[in-house]
Chain A
Amino acid sequence: MHTGQYYINFASTRYMLAAFLLASLPHFFRVPPIITLLTVLFGIWRLVLARFGLATPKVYLRLVLVGAAVLVIFFAHSDLIGREAGLSMLLVMLALKLVETKTKRDTLLFLFMLYFLIVTNFLYTQSILVTVYLFATLWFVTSVVIGVNRQQQVFVFKPHARLAAILLMQATPLMVVMFLLFPRVPDPLWQLPKQQTTAVTGLSENMAPGDISQLIRSGKTAFRVKFIDTAPPVKKMYWRGPVLSVFDGRAWSVSKALKQPARYERARDSIASYSITLEPTHQKLLPALDVPVSWPDTAYLSREHVLYSRQRIKQRTRYTVSSALWSRSATLAKPLRRHYLKLPPGFNPRTRRLAEKFSTAAVGNEKMVQDILSYFRRNEFVYTLKPPALGKDSVDDFLFNTRRGFCEHYASAFVVLMRMAGVPARVVTGYQGGIYNKLGDYYIVRQSEAHAWAEVWIDGRGWQRVDPTGAIAPERIEYGIDAGLDRDPAWHRSLYDKDNYLSRLALYWDSVNNSWNQWILGYNNQSQTRLLATLGFSGSGWLLKALALALLVALLIGLLLLYYGYKNRLMHRDKGLQLYQAFCRKMAAANLPKHQWEGPRSYAARIIPQRRQLADTIERITELYILIRYAGQPEPRHTRALAHYLRNFKP
């Protein structure tokens, strides 16, 4: 590496520090505050050193600092190898590197490491805004790299920022080609130990009172749905999640046995086909409408018609499902019937008496369902996100004392009532409804659409959905959860539901995000194969991709070179000089080379005595050359004449 003379001064230090801060700013919200503080302090220290022209710290001091920093990181994270600790380490070590930077080698190393720091941000988020911000940062870092390479006493930024912009723009088509064609592998190569500190919101396999109301308070998107043909009405969209059939008197949970895959003939009339883009949940559940009749091979349908993925959903995942909106099951086997009637003994005596009253009064189970629903409607049950606490006999407490609750209370109470009355029943959790995004023609289902309802077994008709919450607040089923809340808990939740420019903007932004997720973040091995297939290349081998990649990259670089070559061709070419050079070569071949210290005239004077018979031609050539070169704007006729003399010139 040739480094030559290099100046690190206040100006270049400021820009390096600015680049560092820009690249680490998003990380400052992720690492412990002490790490941010340490990083910023080291930065300020470097700035002070540069401002007053002080020497960088000696080796032993740097070693002490490294040791101290490692200790601080260890105490802040209680480990050193995890992803979070690694990030803290990267930040602090880069700050220390900046402190000791004084040569060009250090500077470039530091700046190249900033590129790495930029990339680490994308492990945490790949949202559009952060991506735009970090690409701007990348431009800044590149400008500083170019500025450093100019190696001048005065560090200037602007012209180099311009060149960096040109470079980045020219690099973009190359990047797109590489992005599309670089062979992707489906599975990770190696896993860094990762801390599961981030709680992911989503449906769980258990339902204790209050679980769903927690979920409803989150405005996060659960998944987005695009219907392939026509969408069913919003109030019929029940996205089924875990089916809860085991009750311990307080909480409901999933039966492990019934979660197992079941064999189904898939050929049933589908009513709706749709593809869902699911946000990562770190669970296996794939929400789907009612009864899926066709689903991807990587998933299976449980014995309770719930769709599960074979792998945990760790990234945003897209899958396509067809559903029948309801099914006709023939019979319920005896053991299953027993399972769906099971209740813990000794709980809720008042509810049991109520259930017995219903079952004697009603003619048929369907009539009994209606009776219970109208019971909820008549007795002024209140729908609230903040229900009061319930005692040991929670259903008794709810039905006869508090009468205030949320969908899970109603579903739970309803199922208990049905079971006590001898009707097989189960709780279903999932999502209800969705917000239509006109711009992208898809539905957004948020965590706040989380819901719980019931399914009862009606002989001859099979499992029937009953939504007891609908009995209290019917408008909730029509318009989504927000209408049922006591008051507006968060502005963004109601944002979609009013029709004003803000809500349209929010929907527009969501649609942009959706496209970003699908086409850019979701681009993978399969999309790559599909793309190549559309272009007419069958097969998904990496060799094909690599070849296409190499060819296109070479083509693009070739085009750029052609462009610059063409630009140069437009420039004036020194024809006179070329011709005179040819003359000198001919003379040199005749053992009369021109010496370096000779001008054209003295050269002519020296060679004419050696070639008397060519004296006139040599003189003419010399004079024409001098005319062309030194008499201002060269005239084409002189050049032509020179070419003419030279053509017939044989020394």
Chain B
Amino acid sequence: MSQWATRLSLRHLAGPELQPVLITRRRIYIMPNGFGLLLSLVLAVMLFGAINYNNSIGFAVTFLLASVAILSLVHANNNLAQLKIRAVAGPPVFCGEYARFQILLTAGSGSDRYSIEAINDHSSAKTDIPANDTGRLWLKMPTRKRGYVPLGRFRLLTEYPFGIARAWSWLYPQAACLVYPAPEKQAPLPKWMGDGDAGQPQEDAIDDFHGFRDYHPGDSPKRISWKQFPADGTLLTKLFCSGHAQDRWLNWDAVSQLPLEQALSRLTRWVLECERAGIRYGLSLPNKKIGCSLGQRHQHECLKALALYRLEEY
């Protein structure tokens, strides 16, 4: 199918496209709808009357309206043509929630666009776009597994101006939203959590050098590995697990006996619980270790690691 589509220069039907996608005329389809049928019925009656009474102006009005109807197809086409489409994935979601994608529609040519609707199987949204401006629509996709969920194919359609025909274009811009594993609902919490007690102490309570990670703005300069900098020009931040009494490690070993997805779900739950309780935590997976910290970014890093764990293609 996709090869055929490519060969027939229907490239846009073949697969995900690079952004931005420009809606060219050849990828717009147009079909009369029920109102078109209704209008043609009215016009047929008018034509019949004009013929019957040999009424010149009756002919003129009928033909004028028929011409307007035909030309409205051209204008419906114009309403979509030369729109530049970009799709941006919304913030990551937990598996089972809807992933959201923002569709940015830029009206290239100097005319206003009205009543442009984006539709996929799960959602639809409608907007007007002033000339040389950008309209924003949100589309949703359901999530069934962790990893990335692509936006997939959707339609952009309009019935403006005359309402008698629908013009549409299929779009498949490359966009994917990150999906965290769903937090396990009735998960047993680690023993050190929930009872208010600090629990068992960590094995080594002194500052423990843990590894490097890419520098993020906001990292303390004290933690930058300046020795590394002249060598390859990149800034690395040193990670420590401070001997803080509250530092906890969420260890793969603690869940390794569970099936993979359940294990990831449980860890996800623990990450969220730690974050909520304000306990500094680190994540240790067989292939990745994330040092102890707290906050939005840290949580995202941990959840992303869980989301993509053992998914080779990422």
Point out residues on A near B: beta carbons under 8 Å: 1-2, 4-5, 104-105, 108-109, 112-113, 115-116, 118-120, 122-123, 126, 131, 134-135, 138, 142, 145-146, 148-152, 159-160, 163, 167-168, 170-172, 174-175, 178-179, 182, 184-185, 188-191, 315, 520-524, 553, 557, 560-561, 564-565, 567-568, 571, 574, 577, 580-581, 584, 594-597
- By a CB distance below 8 angstroms, the chain A residues around B54 are 184, 188, 315, 524
Q: Annotate B9-38 by CB proximity to A: 1 below 8 A, 0 otherwise.
A: 000000011101010010000000111001
Known: A568-B25, A568-B82. A174 touches B70 (CB 8 A): yes
Chain B residue with the shortest CB-CB distance to A109? B38
Chain B residue with the shortest CB-CB distance to A522? B56
Chain A residue with the shortest CB-CB distance to B150? A596
- Contact check, B108 vs A150: say whether CB atoms are below 8 A apart: no
B44-97 contacts to A, CB under 8 A, are 45-46, 48-68, 70-72, 74-75, 77-78, 81-82
- Contact check, B56 vs A185: say whether CB atoms are below 8 A apart: no
| Most chain A CB neighbours (cut-off 10 Å) among B35, B60, B62, B74 | B60
- Contact check, A574 vs B163: say whether CB atoms are below 8 A apart: no
Given A108-B163, A553-B70, A571-B109, 12 more A-B residue pairs with CB atoms under 8 Å apart are: A1-B35, A112-B38, A115-B42, A123-B53, A126-B56, A149-B161, A168-B64, A174-B70, A179-B59, A188-B51, A524-B54, A580-B18
CB of A56, distance to nearest CB on chain B (Å): 21
Q: What is the bound-complex CA distance between A104 and B78, given in angstroms?
A: 23
Known: A138-B64, A168-B68, A175-B64. A2 touches B159 (CB 8 A): yes
- By a CB distance below 8 angstroms, the chain A residues around B166 are 2
| Most chain B CB neighbours (cut-off 10 Å) among A123, A188, A561 | A123
Point out residues on B near A: beta carbons under 8 Å: 16-18, 20, 22, 25, 33-35, 38-39, 42, 45-46, 48-68, 70-72, 74-75, 77-78, 81-82, 108-109, 112, 114-115, 117, 124, 126, 128, 148, 150-151, 159-163, 166, 174-176, 178, 313-314
Known: A131-B57, A596-B16. A116 touches B46 (CB 8 A): yes
- Contact check, B75 vs A571: say whether CB atoms are below 8 A apart: no
Q: What is the bound-complex CA distance between A267 and B161, given in angstroms?
A: 64
CB of A489, distance to nearest CB on chain B (Å): 33
- Contact check, B52 vs A190: say whether CB atoms are below 8 A apart: yes
Known: A119-B46, A171-B67. A557 touches B74 (CB 8 A): yes
- By a CB distance below 8 angstroms, the chain A residues around B174 are 594-597
- Contact check, B18 vs A2: say whether CB atoms are below 8 A apart: no
Known: A167-B71, A168-B68, A567-B109. A1 touches B33 (CB 8 A): yes
- By a CB distance below 8 angstroms, the chain B residues around A151 are 115, 126
- Contact check, A113 vs B162: say whether CB atoms are below 8 A apart: no
Q: What is the bound-complex CA distance between A142 and B66, given in angstroms?
A: 12
Q: Which of B56, B65, B72 contacts A520 (CB 8 A)?
A: B56
- Contact check, B55 vs A126: say whether CB atoms are below 8 A apart: yes
- Contact check, B64 vs A172: say whether CB atoms are below 8 A apart: yes
Q: What is the bound-complex CA distance between A560 and B115, given in angstroms?
A: 23
- By a CB distance below 8 angstroms, the chain B residues around A123 are 49, 53, 55, 58
Known: A115-B65, A149-B162. A189 touches B48 (CB 8 A): yes
CB of A617, distance to nearest CB on chain B (Å): 19
- By a CB distance below 8 angstroms, the chain A residues around B159 are 2, 149
